[in-house]
Structure 1
């Protein structure tokens, strides 16, 4: 009885360790590796973890581990001052003194407890078990296979540890996949909000892009927009609501809707900002936002700018050189202070105008003037159009690894062939 009590105690310790070791992140591959390492160490065998993806997709080998390497990793962690995770192993040594009849009965019952069993074990044989990555009656997410060459077959306690670890990993994998699906939905929502601006006049070439802040970001407050005006003109907009997450995205959509309504009155850009600022300031729940407006008049070859706390745009000349547009900067929207001023400059047909949010250029611990100078120092291929400007700038400034959301909008006056 004392020997059985010792085996049950080792089994309980192993189950407790599984809770602490499996599912430490929301990453599917990491969870599978943790599962394989845990089982290889505690069951002293070779472990493979196969997972299934979308319906009809092939099975993928997500992780594998050998007993020797798992034990070495555990020993290395202990030598570094960590608590050895294998101290409660439920391998053959832990249950070796259990009655032979009970161990045999446990292995014989594996056909019911485990989805597949193979090999008879023994001193020179091989034993193997396969269990589904599933929680109770849920659809399996994959399969865990454990094999052991030489030595005894699997005991009833080892089977219990295997099943418990597989169920635990399956629950974490389910959470990880739910998170990925949620993030994917949120990202598509964000891109739908920012990537489908109103149609500008056909006398303007347009390209835009949006990148979220890192792999764990959901939605944010960066956006770009175009509004068609009278007499062949278009209003270009880029804005950034302070903060991140769903609340920022909701406020962003509110700003965007209000701006469309105000811009439809055909007010000059600085008056559009003034009106929008006063409207937003009346709502205490609305977050402040920076915003840059540019009214492009292709017939006159001119652009009129107005900024509410936003970074200045850059103009790429036909030869690929860049120039920051100097602007007077008013306070962000939502303060109720106002004080926005217009600036007009020529915009030649060969020039491409680039509006952007601060995530494109800002770097942690770096002065913003240095960040803007890096952008202004870019030299793009000659005669780059809006799409190429967006692609080149995002690539050269490594915007795909930016710490903040990035929204960019590029525009160029379309050259009409002579009649």
Structure 2
């Protein structure tokens, strides 16, 4: 800092010219100008070599070389190219990086010799020459050189707090609410706060099925459900005695959490004495943990969204570190942001629960087939969640011992898809009652569905089984091929002519007749069984064909084998299965 500037440096040359004009020592002039300024100053040459920094710049940024600040180095290169100043933040400082267009050394030397002695005439003449050199006109001497000026100014406390708040919420937005699962969201919230904001965090929420609780209304005897808990590694031994996720907790009247929920605002308390612990905490287990961990401060905040109480966030710090007003305001913003994510997950799970119940109610067991046919069916929502879609199956008894097998998949998920599924199923029963060939049934369905502009398209596969003739007739509306399982032979995926999904109004369905003899099993399925993200559908189907599936035995055992081998927990869509086997006639 304050090191001598190289004689041929453009910035140093400019300072030399000013010193000559004023008749003073150049270093003394530089020191008087910038050393004691209330803001930081750093000068870089056109090669971005640091030529000068003052003490204020070092105290604000923690470095005497601006190039070690990546943002400054990048901005300096950019301003040399386009001349547009850049501003930004670094720590608690506000930085400005701008280009300096400077006179070359030869021009400064010439100007100094012409001026003869220091005086106002020399300063004025120097300024005029500087303007001429900067113009770049022909015959004006060597081209102008450039440098970079970096200024650093301390932000006020409010600006620092606002920036910290924005940084916290931005980070929280990326790390909290990554799924629509309540437990996962609560765990993300607890882990986000430790150790940045607290040494210990717990998230308690209203149990599922509890009516919406208005803000400011005491919980009374109601219990909360511990959804997540997190602590620093030093506190892990003490966490064993706290309520674990999945257990219920009660915050009695007068405790810090109860007061926070009743007042609908944060409550911060210090825990210096046994009396403080007894008042703030509801149970002896919690007091034991806090006492053993040396917890000295606690903050309870309500988790609220859309005018309703969802639960509470409890943070605690060991030692003498209390929660400042600025920190409480920032954590309150964080709690509000997280509460919205929790509420979104809660609403999603509630709607999916309704959809699942509706799906199960609508997707009743298929009608009984003829005695010459065994069937088994299975439905699973996506993975281990309750995300339901429009998968469905059906069997229709027809004259002369024939049975129509149906499997379909309405596009989309949720209540709407389940309702559309029911519509398709009802129409299918109606059309199939006319005893039409499978391809004509699809044509009629497509025509009826396409008249409703709000209806969702659906894939569908029909299989008309005729045990007396040992044959089956297929027709497909964009559905995946059925599997034929024969004892002692590999599973065969039947290649069928496929028309467009139902509801498009395009039509164009064909049929295919295949032999089906007693002992063979016909397996119809929806895409959730085989499709996997980042995998080609042909690879997925080959995996199904390679499964060693038992053709003999109970059909339910076969479905178990199919699901076990395909790992439905990895499925990204719901799964419907329908298996059928012609009964051997004695």
- How high is the TM-score relative to the length of structure 2? 0.53
Q: What residue is the counterpart of 1:19 in the other structure?
A: 169
Quick one: which of 48, 51, 68 aligns to 2:201?
A: 48
The secondary structure found in structure 2 opposite 1:120 is coil
Do residues 338 (structure 1) and 508 (structure 2) align?
Answer: yes
For residues 320 and 195 of structure 1, the distance between their equivalents in structure 2, rounded to whole angstroms, comes to 33
Q: Is the 8 A contact 1:50 1:62 kept in 2?
A: yes
Task: State the Cα distance separating 1:415 from its structure 2 match.
Answer: 5.7
Do residues 376 (structure 1) and 545 (structure 2) align?
Answer: yes
Compared CA separation, residues 379 and 220, structure 1 to 2 (3 A): same
Q: Is the 8 A contact 1:115 1:130 kept in 2?
A: yes
For residues 141 and 302 of structure 1, the distance between their equivalents in structure 2, rounded to whole angstroms, comes to 61
Task: State the Cα distance separating 1:265 from its structure 2 match.
Answer: 1.8
Q: What residue is the counterpart of 1:228 in the other structure?
A: 397
Deviations 1:237-286, CA, capped at 9 Å, x for gaps: 01234555666555443332211101112223233223323434555554
Deviations 1:335-381, CA, capped at 9 Å, x for gaps: 44434234142330x32210122343345676655443332232224
Compared CA separation, residues 164 and 380, structure 1 to 2 (3 A): same
The secondary structure found in structure 1 opposite 2:304 is coil
The secondary structure found in structure 1 opposite 2:365 is coil
Task: State the Cα distance separating 1:58 from its structure 2 match.
Answer: 7.5
Runs of 5+ consecutive residues of structure 2 not aligned to the other structure: 1-154, 211-221, 236-258, 274-293
Deviations 1:62-115, CA, capped at 9 Å, x for gaps: 13143999xxxxxxxxxxxxxxxxxxxxxxxxxxxxxxxxxxxxxxx9998655
For residues 181 and 305 of structure 1, the distance between their equivalents in structure 2, rounded to whole angstroms, comes to 39
Quick one: which of 110, 113, 119 aligns to 2:271?
A: 119
**1:8-407, aligned counterparts within 5 Å?**
11-22=161-172, 23-25=176-178, 26-37=180-191, 39-41=193-195, 43=197, 45-52=198-205, 53-54=207-208, 59-60=225-226, 62-66=228-232, 117-120=269-272, 126-135=295-304, 138-139=308-309, 141-149=311-319, 151-194=320-363, 196-213=365-382, 218-242=387-411, 248-283=417-452, 286-319=455-488, 321-333=490-502, 334-348=504-518, 350-363=519-532, 368-381=537-550, 383-407=552-576
Compared CA separation, residues 212 and 9, structure 1 to 2 (3 A): same
Structure scoring higher RCO (CA < 8 A, sep ≥ 6) equals 1
Compared CA separation, residues 130 and 327, structure 1 to 2 (3 A): same
Q: Is the 8 A contact 1:206 1:386 kept in 2?
A: yes
Residue-pair matches, total: 369
The secondary structure found in structure 2 opposite 1:141 is strand
For residues 60 and 392 of structure 1, the distance between their equivalents in structure 2, rounded to whole angstroms, comes to 38
Q: Is the 8 A contact 2:349 2:386 kept in 1?
A: no
Q: Is the 8 A contact 2:431 2:445 kept in 1?
A: yes
Q: Is the 8 A contact 2:398 2:404 kept in 1?
A: yes
User: Greater CA radius of gyration, 1 or 2?
Assistant: 2
The secondary structure found in structure 2 opposite 1:379 is coil
Q: What residue is the counterpart of 1:412 in the other structure?
A: 581
Runs of 5+ consecutive residues of structure 1 not aligned to the other structure: 70-108
For residues 46 and 367 of structure 1, the distance between their equivalents in structure 2, rounded to whole angstroms, comes to 47
Deviations 1:128-160, CA, capped at 9 Å, x for gaps: 2141443398445244131221x3544444444
For residues 176 and 364 of structure 1, the distance between their equivalents in structure 2, rounded to whole angstroms, comes to 23
Deviations 1:25-79, CA, capped at 9 Å, x for gaps: 3444454355445544554x4122132434688743613143999xxxxxxxxxx
- How high is the TM-score relative to the length of structure 1? 0.71
For residues 383 and 164 of structure 1, the distance between their equivalents in structure 2, rounded to whole angstroms, comes to 62
Q: Is the 8 A contact 2:481 2:496 kept in 1?
A: yes
Q: Is the 8 A contact 2:485 2:551 kept in 1?
A: no
Compared CA separation, residues 24 and 328, structure 1 to 2 (3 A): closer
Q: Is the 8 A contact 1:296 1:302 kept in 2?
A: yes
Compared CA separation, residues 27 and 16, structure 1 to 2 (3 A): farther
Q: Is the 8 A contact 1:48 1:61 kept in 2?
A: no
Q: What residue is the counterpart of 2:278 in the other structure?
A: none
Q: What residue is the counterpart of 2:291 in the other structure?
A: none
